[in-house]
Amino acid sequence: MKNLHNLVAFKLWQYLVLIAVTGLATWMISGSSLLAISVSVVAVAIPSEVLRFRRSKVIQRERDGWPMVIDHLISGVNSGVSLQQTLSDLATRGPEQFRTRFEKISSKIRHGESFTEVMRSARSEFHTAAADQVIGVLALARVTGSSDVGPILRTLGEFLREDNSLRAEIEARHGWVRSSASLAAIAPWLLLLILASQPSTRAAFSTETGIYILGLGFVLTAIAYMWMNLAGRLPEVPRALA
């Protein structure tokens, strides 16, 4: 199965460059190696937020595409077009984000692979539970006849549209809360970076007490960041066929 993380992940060298650049910039401003290390470690959270954003965009594009796929399938069923031809049409007329994947599926069927096996392996091309639901309906249509699945597809399409609309509303309301929480977590470190240009600040955080405060601040920031991620995460529908 394609790993969604691998599709959006940063390379190790990109993390290392971020740490090095952040640490060097902090050291040039503050002249403190300890502060440079602390700020550069905190900066690692930035790629995590970027990855979360990228992943959510990939998932959202898939969710938005499935109702359109279902509409196309319903049109094919009502027109008496074969499932193989309908899937082939999706490779050229379906949602843009799915065309390459449906072309691969259609190619396997054209080259004589079992429809059931192709449908079973097709789920690895997608990353949402909606894919499993649609693939399950297509497998059922192959067994019972495509004319019997029109009402099922119609009901599934309506459900997915309602679910997408509800998720979009919830995510919009949570978005500003999450952004505010992220800013609250990073603000003390930005303030520290600004104040670190003062010799008195550097001297204060070079003492044993200053080091303890930096360590405690880092731990509390990490805890707050992890809690924020857990509290702001919407539950995902489990993959039915995974």
**Residue tagged 């930096």 (tokens):** 214
48 in a domain, yes or no? yes
Report the number of secondary-structure helices (H) and strands (E) in the chain: 11, 0
Mean pLDDT value across residues 83-104: 90
Name the domain count of the chain. Answer: 1
* Whole-angstrom distance, CA of residue 228 vs CA of residue 132: 30
162 in a domain, yes or no? yes
Better pLDDT: 181 or 133 = 133
pLDDT in tens, 59-76: 889 999 999 999 999 998
236 in a domain, yes or no? no
Mean pLDDT value across residues 219-235: 78
Q: How many CA atoms lie within 13 A of 134 on its CB side?
A: 29
237 in a domain, yes or no? no
238 in a domain, yes or no? no
Tell me the two tokens of residue 45: 């959270």
42 in a domain, yes or no? yes
- Contact criterion met (CB below 8 Å) for 18 and 46: yes
Residue 1 pLDDT more than 50? Answer: no
Residue span of the structural domain in which 199 resides:
4-231
- Contact criterion met (CB below 8 Å) for 131 and 123: yes
Mean pLDDT value across residues 191-200: 82
122 in a domain, yes or no? yes
23 in a domain, yes or no? yes
Contacts of 73 (CB under 8 A, 6+ apart): 86, 134, 138, 153
pLDDT in tens, 8-23: 566 777 778 888 888 8
